[in-house]
Chains A and B, each alone.
Chain A
Amino acid sequence: GDSVTQMEGPVTLSEEAFLTINCTYTATGYPSLFWYVQYPGEGLQLLLKATKADDKGSNKGFEATYRKETTSFHLEKGSVQVSDSAVYFCALSGEEGAQKLVFGQGTRLTINP
C-alpha cells in the first residue's frame, strides 16, 4: 500500500541555518503531496502542497518540489527562525477521488537562538 517515510528526528539547528527534512514515498499512480506543520500544543496546519510532478509548493519561506523520478518531496528553508520549531509531517493522497491521506511519522524540529 501507499506509504511515506520521513527522516528521523529530532533535528536541532541554530537560527539562520539551512533546513532540509527528507520525505520519500511509495504510491501507485500519481499522488498529491503535502507538508503539514504542528506547533506545540496545536493541531496540524497545511504548510504547502504539490499536486503533480515537478510542481513546487511554497509558503512562509518553505519550499518542496515533487520529484517523481526519485519519489521524493523534501522540505527546505534557507534560513530558519526560532518560531519554526514544530513537528513537520509529510503526507500523500492517492489519485483523484481519493478520500484519505497517508502520513509520515513526523519530524520534530528545534531551532536554537
Chain B
Amino acid sequence: DVKVTQSSRYLVKRTGEKVFLECVQDMDHENMFWYRQDPGLGLRLIYFSYDVKMKEKGDIPEGYSVSREKKERFSLILESASTNQTSMYLCASSLLHRATLDGYTFGSGTRLTVV
C-alpha cells in the first residue's frame, strides 16, 4: 500500500524552539507539498518541491523553511516556533505532471501545538 508518512501525529513545542516536521513517501513521487490546515481557512500551501534540492514558496512561507535532500523525504522547518504556528500540518505528494489526473496522496497530518 503506497504511503505518505509523517513522523509525528502530535507534537508540543515551546515558543522559540526550532521544530522539524518530517515527511517520507514510498511512491517515487517527484512533487511534495506542505500545507497547514486551520478552522475556517481550509488548506494553505506553505512550500512545495518538484525535485531534490528544489523548493518553491507557496502562499504562506513566512516563518518556515524546507529541505529536500532525498527524493522521498521533505522536511518542514519552523526556525523559531511561535504560538500562531499552532496548527495541523499536512504533507502530500504526487507524480510530476500527474496532479491533473491523479491528485495528491496525503499523510495523516501532524498536529503541532506551540506553547
Q: Which residues of A contact B (CB under 8 A)?
A: 31-32, 34, 36, 41-46, 49, 51, 89, 91, 93-101, 103-106
Contact = CB atoms under 8 A, between A and B. Distances in A.
A105 B41 contact: yes
Contacts of B100: 31-32, 51, 93-98
B106 interface: yes
Contacts of A42: 108-109
A98 B31 CA distance: 11
A8 B99 CA distance: 26
29 contacts: A32-B101, A32-B103, A34-B103, A41-B9, A42-B109, A43-B6, A44-B104, A44-B106, A46-B105, A49-B103, A89-B42, A89-B43, A91-B103, A93-B99, A94-B100, A95-B100, A97-B97, A97-B100, A98-B97, A99-B48, A99-B50, A99-B94, A99-B96, A100-B33, A100-B48, A101-B99, A101-B103, A101-B104, A105-B41
Q: Interface SS of chain A: helix, strand, loop or mixed? A: loop
A96 B99 CA distance: 8
B45 interface: yes
Contacts of B106: 36, 43-45
Contacts of B94: 99
Interface string B38-71: 0011110100101000000000000000000000
Contacts of B42: 89, 103-106
Contacts of B90: 43-44
Given A43-B107, A43-B108, A44-B106, A100 B99 contact: yes
Contacts of A96: 97, 100
